[in-house]
Amino acid sequence: MQQDLANRIEVTKGDITRLKVDAIVNAANTSLLGGGGVDGAIHRAAGPGLVEECRKLQGCPTGHAKITGGYNLPAKHVIHAVGPVWHGGHHNEGALLAGCYKNSLKLAVENHLKTIAFPAISTGVYAFPLERAARIAVREVQDFLRQNDSIEKVIFVTFGEDTYRTYQKVLAEA
Ligand code: AR6
Protein backbone atom coordinates (compact mmCIF):
# COMPACT_ATOMS: atom_id res chain seq x y z
CA MET A 1 0.00 0.00 0.00
CA GLN A 2 1.16 3.57 -0.66
CA GLN A 3 2.65 5.08 2.49
CA ASP A 4 0.33 8.11 2.73
CA LEU A 5 -2.68 5.85 2.33
CA ALA A 6 -1.34 3.39 4.91
CA ASN A 7 -0.92 6.25 7.40
CA ARG A 8 -4.61 7.08 7.12
CA ILE A 9 -5.83 3.53 7.86
CA GLU A 10 -5.49 1.84 11.23
CA VAL A 11 -6.65 -1.42 12.82
CA THR A 12 -7.33 -1.55 16.55
CA LYS A 13 -8.80 -4.07 18.94
CA GLY A 14 -11.60 -3.35 21.35
CA ASP A 15 -14.90 -1.69 21.98
CA ILE A 16 -15.88 0.89 19.36
CA THR A 17 -18.08 2.75 21.87
CA ARG A 18 -14.95 3.95 23.69
CA LEU A 19 -13.44 5.78 20.74
CA LYS A 20 -13.22 9.54 20.69
CA VAL A 21 -13.56 10.12 16.96
CA ASP A 22 -15.77 12.30 14.80
CA ALA A 23 -17.99 9.31 13.99
CA ILE A 24 -18.32 5.67 14.82
CA VAL A 25 -20.21 3.50 12.36
CA ASN A 26 -22.95 1.24 13.67
CA ALA A 27 -23.75 -2.15 12.13
CA ALA A 28 -27.48 -1.49 12.26
CA ASN A 29 -30.59 -3.12 10.84
CA THR A 30 -33.16 -1.51 8.53
CA SER A 31 -35.33 -0.33 11.45
CA LEU A 32 -32.44 1.70 12.96
CA LEU A 33 -34.08 1.10 16.32
CA GLY A 34 -31.32 -0.96 17.93
CA GLY A 35 -30.55 -4.64 18.33
CA GLY A 36 -27.78 -6.89 19.62
CA GLY A 37 -24.03 -6.95 18.92
CA VAL A 38 -22.30 -3.66 18.28
CA ASP A 39 -25.69 -2.00 17.69
CA GLY A 40 -26.82 -2.87 21.22
CA ALA A 41 -23.51 -1.71 22.69
CA ILE A 42 -23.71 1.64 20.88
CA HIS A 43 -27.30 2.30 21.96
CA ARG A 44 -26.50 1.36 25.57
CA ALA A 45 -23.48 3.64 25.70
CA ALA A 46 -25.17 6.53 23.87
CA GLY A 47 -28.28 6.56 26.05
CA PRO A 48 -31.95 7.02 25.12
CA GLY A 49 -31.43 10.19 23.06
CA LEU A 50 -30.00 8.06 20.27
CA VAL A 51 -33.04 5.87 19.70
CA GLU A 52 -35.28 8.95 19.88
CA GLU A 53 -33.36 10.55 17.02
CA CYS A 54 -33.26 7.24 15.13
CA ARG A 55 -37.05 6.96 15.32
CA LYS A 56 -37.34 10.15 13.27
CA LEU A 57 -35.21 8.69 10.48
CA GLN A 58 -37.83 6.08 9.53
CA GLY A 59 -35.39 3.29 8.86
CA CYS A 60 -32.68 2.84 6.25
CA PRO A 61 -32.34 0.47 3.28
CA THR A 62 -29.66 -2.22 3.22
CA GLY A 63 -26.35 -0.91 1.84
CA HIS A 64 -27.12 2.67 2.88
CA ALA A 65 -26.36 4.80 5.93
CA LYS A 66 -27.82 7.64 8.02
CA ILE A 67 -26.15 9.93 10.55
CA THR A 68 -27.16 11.00 14.08
CA GLY A 69 -25.56 12.65 17.06
CA GLY A 70 -23.41 10.67 19.48
CA TYR A 71 -25.25 11.62 22.70
CA ASN A 72 -23.36 10.13 25.69
CA LEU A 73 -20.70 8.54 23.49
CA PRO A 74 -17.22 10.06 23.27
CA ALA A 75 -17.76 10.06 19.47
CA LYS A 76 -19.50 13.14 18.11
CA HIS A 77 -21.70 11.23 15.66
CA VAL A 78 -22.98 7.78 14.86
CA ILE A 79 -23.30 6.71 11.24
CA HIS A 80 -25.81 3.88 11.09
CA ALA A 81 -25.00 1.58 8.17
CA VAL A 82 -27.18 -1.40 7.32
CA GLY A 83 -25.17 -4.40 6.18
CA PRO A 84 -26.60 -7.31 4.20
CA VAL A 85 -27.52 -10.65 5.76
CA TRP A 86 -25.31 -13.34 4.15
CA HIS A 87 -27.46 -15.67 2.02
CA GLY A 88 -24.66 -17.60 0.31
CA GLY A 89 -23.18 -14.81 -1.81
CA HIS A 90 -25.56 -14.72 -4.78
CA HIS A 91 -27.88 -12.06 -3.46
CA ASN A 92 -25.77 -8.97 -4.10
CA GLU A 93 -24.24 -9.22 -0.63
CA GLY A 94 -20.81 -7.97 -1.73
CA ALA A 95 -22.14 -4.84 -3.45
CA LEU A 96 -24.46 -4.09 -0.55
CA LEU A 97 -21.62 -4.38 1.95
CA ALA A 98 -19.43 -2.16 -0.24
CA GLY A 99 -22.30 0.35 -0.25
CA CYS A 100 -22.20 0.53 3.55
CA TYR A 101 -18.56 1.67 3.49
CA LYS A 102 -18.97 4.04 0.52
CA ASN A 103 -22.14 5.67 1.80
CA SER A 104 -20.77 6.03 5.35
CA LEU A 105 -17.64 7.74 4.05
CA LYS A 106 -19.73 9.98 1.82
CA LEU A 107 -21.80 11.05 4.83
CA ALA A 108 -18.62 11.71 6.78
CA VAL A 109 -17.35 14.03 4.06
CA GLU A 110 -20.70 15.83 3.72
CA ASN A 111 -20.62 16.47 7.47
CA HIS A 112 -16.97 17.63 7.45
CA LEU A 113 -15.84 14.72 9.65
CA LYS A 114 -12.18 13.79 9.67
CA THR A 115 -11.92 10.65 11.79
CA ILE A 116 -14.23 7.65 11.44
CA ALA A 117 -14.22 4.17 12.98
CA PHE A 118 -15.86 1.10 11.44
CA PRO A 119 -16.75 -2.24 13.05
CA ALA A 120 -16.65 -5.37 10.86
CA ILE A 121 -20.14 -4.79 9.43
CA SER A 122 -22.25 -7.92 8.73
CA THR A 123 -19.66 -10.37 10.08
CA GLY A 124 -21.49 -11.12 13.35
CA VAL A 125 -25.20 -11.97 13.45
CA TYR A 126 -25.47 -11.37 9.68
CA ALA A 127 -22.85 -14.12 9.04
CA PHE A 128 -20.93 -12.53 6.13
CA PRO A 129 -17.66 -14.51 5.75
CA LEU A 130 -15.02 -12.58 7.66
CA GLU A 131 -12.12 -12.48 5.21
CA ARG A 132 -14.36 -11.67 2.28
CA ALA A 133 -15.95 -8.84 4.28
CA ALA A 134 -12.55 -7.51 5.37
CA ARG A 135 -11.35 -7.42 1.74
CA ILE A 136 -14.41 -5.42 0.73
CA ALA A 137 -14.00 -3.05 3.68
CA VAL A 138 -10.32 -2.40 2.96
CA ARG A 139 -10.84 -2.00 -0.79
CA GLU A 140 -13.72 0.45 -0.40
CA VAL A 141 -11.89 2.55 2.18
CA GLN A 142 -8.71 2.66 0.11
CA ASP A 143 -10.58 3.58 -3.07
CA PHE A 144 -12.44 6.32 -1.26
CA LEU A 145 -9.38 7.78 0.47
CA ARG A 146 -7.50 7.88 -2.84
CA GLN A 147 -10.20 10.22 -4.21
CA ASN A 148 -10.66 12.27 -1.05
CA ASP A 149 -8.24 14.31 1.03
CA SER A 150 -10.56 15.54 3.77
CA ILE A 151 -10.78 12.33 5.81
CA GLU A 152 -7.66 12.04 7.94
CA LYS A 153 -8.10 8.67 9.61
CA VAL A 154 -10.19 5.54 9.18
CA ILE A 155 -10.00 3.03 12.02
CA PHE A 156 -11.11 -0.58 11.66
CA VAL A 157 -12.18 -1.65 15.13
CA THR A 158 -11.94 -5.38 15.62
CA PHE A 159 -13.66 -7.24 18.40
CA GLY A 160 -11.80 -10.51 18.92
CA GLU A 161 -8.43 -11.87 17.90
CA ASP A 162 -9.69 -13.57 14.75
CA THR A 163 -11.06 -10.38 13.26
CA TYR A 164 -7.93 -8.47 14.22
CA ARG A 165 -5.64 -10.97 12.50
CA THR A 166 -7.82 -11.10 9.41
CA TYR A 167 -7.74 -7.32 8.96
CA GLN A 168 -3.97 -7.24 9.55
CA LYS A 169 -3.50 -9.89 6.89
CA VAL A 170 -5.81 -8.25 4.36
CA LEU A 171 -4.19 -4.84 4.89
CA ALA A 172 -0.70 -6.30 4.55
CA GLU A 173 -1.69 -7.77 1.19
CA ALA A 174 -3.44 -4.63 -0.07
N1 AR6 B 1 -17.13 -2.81 19.36
C2 AR6 B 1 -16.62 -3.20 18.16
N3 AR6 B 1 -17.08 -4.28 17.49
C4 AR6 B 1 -18.06 -5.00 18.07
C5 AR6 B 1 -18.64 -4.66 19.32
C6 AR6 B 1 -18.13 -3.50 19.96
N7 AR6 B 1 -18.62 -3.08 21.13
N8 AR6 B 1 -19.61 -5.59 19.62
C9 AR6 B 1 -19.61 -6.48 18.61
N10 AR6 B 1 -18.69 -6.14 17.68
P11 AR6 B 1 -22.82 -7.62 14.75
P12 AR6 B 1 -23.92 -7.59 12.02
C13 AR6 B 1 -18.33 -6.80 16.42
O14 AR6 B 1 -23.48 -8.91 15.03
O15 AR6 B 1 -23.32 -8.91 11.70
C16 AR6 B 1 -27.67 -6.39 15.45
O17 AR6 B 1 -28.68 -7.01 16.20
C18 AR6 B 1 -18.72 -8.25 16.24
O19 AR6 B 1 -17.79 -9.09 16.93
O20 AR6 B 1 -22.88 -6.55 15.78
O21 AR6 B 1 -23.79 -6.47 11.01
C22 AR6 B 1 -28.22 -5.33 14.51
O23 AR6 B 1 -29.35 -4.66 15.06
C24 AR6 B 1 -18.59 -8.40 14.74
O25 AR6 B 1 -17.23 -8.52 14.36
O26 AR6 B 1 -23.41 -6.93 13.39
C27 AR6 B 1 -28.58 -6.11 13.30
O28 AR6 B 1 -29.86 -6.69 13.40
C29 AR6 B 1 -19.09 -7.03 14.22
O30 AR6 B 1 -19.04 -6.16 15.36
C31 AR6 B 1 -27.53 -7.19 13.26
O32 AR6 B 1 -27.07 -7.35 14.60
C33 AR6 B 1 -20.48 -7.03 13.65
O34 AR6 B 1 -21.31 -7.93 14.38
C35 AR6 B 1 -26.35 -6.78 12.42
O36 AR6 B 1 -25.45 -7.84 12.30
Minimal-distance CA residue to ligand 1 atom 14: 124
User: Strands of 153-158's sheet, edge to edge?
Assistant: 9-13, 153-158, 115-118, 23-28, 77-82, 65-69
pLDDT for residue 1 is more than 80: no
Find all residues with CB under 8 Å of 44, minimum gap 6, and list them.
17
Range of the domain at 141: 2-173
Which of 73, 125, 128, 132 has most ligand 1 atoms within 8 Å of its beta carbon, as the pocket-test mutant? 125
* CATH number where 33 lies: 3.40.220.10
Phi then psi for residue 115, to 5 deg, are: -130, 130
pLDDT digits (tens, 9 = 90+) for 38-69: 999 999 999 999 999 999 999 999 999 999 99
Share above pLDDT 70 across residues of the chain, in percent, rounded to a whole number: 100
Q: Where does the pLDDT of residue 2 fall: very low under 50, low under 70, confident under 90, or very high at 90 and above?
A: confident
For 12, half-sphere exposure in the C-beta direction (CA atoms, 13 angstrom radius) is 15
What are the angstrom distances between the C-alpha of 5 and each of 77, 146, 150? 24, 7, 13
What is the average pLDDT across 128-155?
A: 97
Based on the residue annotation, tell me whether 39 is a catalytic residue of this protein: yes
Number of domains in the chain: 1
CA 47 – CA 40 distance, rounded (Å): 11
Q: Is 2 helix (H, G, I), strand (E, B) or coil?
A: coil
CA 45 – CA 30 distance, rounded (Å): 20
pLDDT digits (tens, 9 = 90+) for 68-105: 999 999 999 999 999 999 999 999 999 999 999 999 99
Q: Is the CB of 42 under 6 A from ligand 1?
A: no
What is the average pLDDT across 113-124?
A: 98
pLDDT for residue 151 is more than 80: yes
Q: Is the CB of 36 under 6 A from ligand 1?
A: yes
pTM value surpassing 0.95: yes
